[in-house]
Amino acid sequence: MSSTRTRNILFTVTAALSIFLDQWTKVLARTHLKPLDSWRSVVVVDGCFDLRYSENTGVAFGMLQKMPGGRVLLTLVALAALALVFQYLRRTDPGQSRLHLALGLVAGGAVGNLIDRIAVGRVSDFIVWHYHGHEWPAFNVADAALVVGVCLMALDMMFDRRRAADSPPERARGGR
């Protein structure tokens, strides 16, 4: 199998799996958590991890929820980001598996939230973490995929810089 084909398969499978898990868990959250009062949580790990349904018409942490035309603008931003992801994927070296995985997670997360935004006008969030008495704002699987994907991209960039710094200059290896 060609390395370009392997790159595309890794990206596509990662994105599809992210989208599937995101949409499946959102259906479960809408079915089982939404009927509960918005203040009521299902405790998974006491003091650490709860499930509590909320809806977000804005972006991260509820920003831009009241912005006129926000749904259209956020949809266009997500589509532009997806176009950049695909452009970046095409330019990657076929051997950069970590980067292809990261781009698949970013694409899957973006599409997962885009589906919500287009279909119902808001994104369903339901995962709530607690840390030393502080509560992280509710998020979903798509958000987690985006964050992990961006972190993997950052790691990939750091490792690429290290490899470039550790490799001898082209002239020293006999090249021009």
Alpha-carbon distance of 106 to 82, in angstroms, equals: 8
Both tokens of 63, joined, read 């920003």
Does residue 116 carry a catalytic annotation? no
Q: Give the count of beta carbons closer than 10 Å to the beta carbon of residue 12.
A: 15
- Of 22, 50, 116, 125, the active-site residue reads 125
Does residue 46 carry a catalytic annotation? no
- Work out the burial of residue 102: count CB atoms within 10 Å of its CB; fewer than 13 is exposed, 13-18 middle, 19 or more buried: buried
- Of 22, 50, 116, 143, the active-site residue reads 143
HEC secondary structure over 97-121: HHHHHHHHHHHHHHHHHHHHHHHHC
Both tokens of 129, joined, read 């973490």
- The residues carrying an active-site annotation are 125, 143
